[in-house]
Homo-oligomer: A and B are copies of this chain.
């Protein structure tokens, strides 16, 4: 009688990890490998970082070359696919298409209209039609999700908690619009709402607004809050935080960072905690109304 080994489902086929930018693909690959399952990384040229993917079996792939990707998937015997890391919305003109991709072009063009969810969902349905199964990074590497409660030694004050609640309500209200997943509130005032600029862009803007005198809340007041959209496909597009988020929050002069517990990915958690403690800012996982709806 064979005992099932965790991570050995799907007939021991290796897990395909499509890798965008950042360190997170490496963290997921390490966790999955450590659980005993083989991984094959598909590093997206222009986004994935060579230093991150080189530690694992990997292939470089190009956006718009689905045919080549499909042949590699078959050669490796992969059935399950994880999609992880940042891929900024590319321009259609930046992509050189191969023939199998061109056959899918009407669907791909539709994917480039509308919001990010739409683009990812379309890509996902193309994979599903070819018999692949999309799995969430948090399903194969559960430790990458933020839990409830504070990380490190700083705690949010009562005022911070009021700002967090306001921000969660705002994110919930804009959730149907397939827009950013972050906003900044300070002393019951909304300072910034994320859209195409991304979270780092929001934090840089706060630094500039403070320097120009456009916002006057003192340093150490205000929170960055991130939560997934209600309709967000949690399989491949959860909000993510890491050490660079902490550095941005500190530069922006905020008190801390709150994220939806159970629905936010954390990269390099030990480094996040050390840098948050050093900067004197709190990091907390909270129950988000938005996450509950997802």
Please measure, in the bound complex, the distance between the C-alpha atom of A216 and the C-alpha atom of B177, giving whole angstroms: 19
A88, A94, A177 interface centre (most CB from chain B within 10 Å): A177
Neighbouring B residues of A191 by C-beta, 8 Å: 195-196
**What 1/0 mask marks residues of chain A from 89 to 115 whose CB sits below 8 Å from any chain B CB?**
111101000000000000000000111
**A88-B214, A173-B174 as given contacts; A192 in contact with B188, CB under 8 Å:** no
A190 at the interface (CB under 8 A from B): yes
Asked whether, in the complex, the Cβ of A213 is within 8 Å of the Cβ of B113, the reply is no
**A170-B179, A177-B166 as given contacts; A195 in contact with B190, CB under 8 Å:** yes
Query: Size band of the A side of the interface?
Result: 35 or more
**What 1/0 mask marks residues of chain A from 155 to 197 whose CB sits below 8 Å from any chain B CB?**
0000000000010011001101111100110011111111111
Asked whether, in the complex, the Cβ of B196 is within 8 Å of the Cβ of A195, the reply is no
Asked whether, in the complex, the Cβ of A188 is within 8 Å of the Cβ of B91, the reply is no
Q: Could you tell me the distance in whole angstroms from the C-beta of A159 to the nearest C-beta in chain B? A: 10
A37 at the interface (CB under 8 A from B): no
Please tell me which one of the listed residues B91, B94, B193 contacts residue A195 in the complex, with CB atoms under 8 A apart: B193
**A170-B177, A177-B173 as given contacts; A188 in contact with B115, CB under 8 Å:** yes
Q: Could you tell me the distance in whole angstroms from the C-beta of A270 to the nearest C-beta in chain B? A: 30
Shortest Cβ distance from A178 into B: residue: B190
**What 1/0 mask marks residues of chain A from 196 to 221 whose CB sits below 8 Å from any chain B CB?**
11100100010001000111100000
Nearest 7 interchain pairs by C-beta: A91-B216, A193-B193, A179-B190, A191-B196, A114-B188, A192-B195, A173-B173
Give me 5 other A-B pairs in contact (C-beta within 8 A), A114-B187, A178-B189 excluded.
Answer: A88-B213, A113-B189, A166-B177, A191-B195, A196-B215
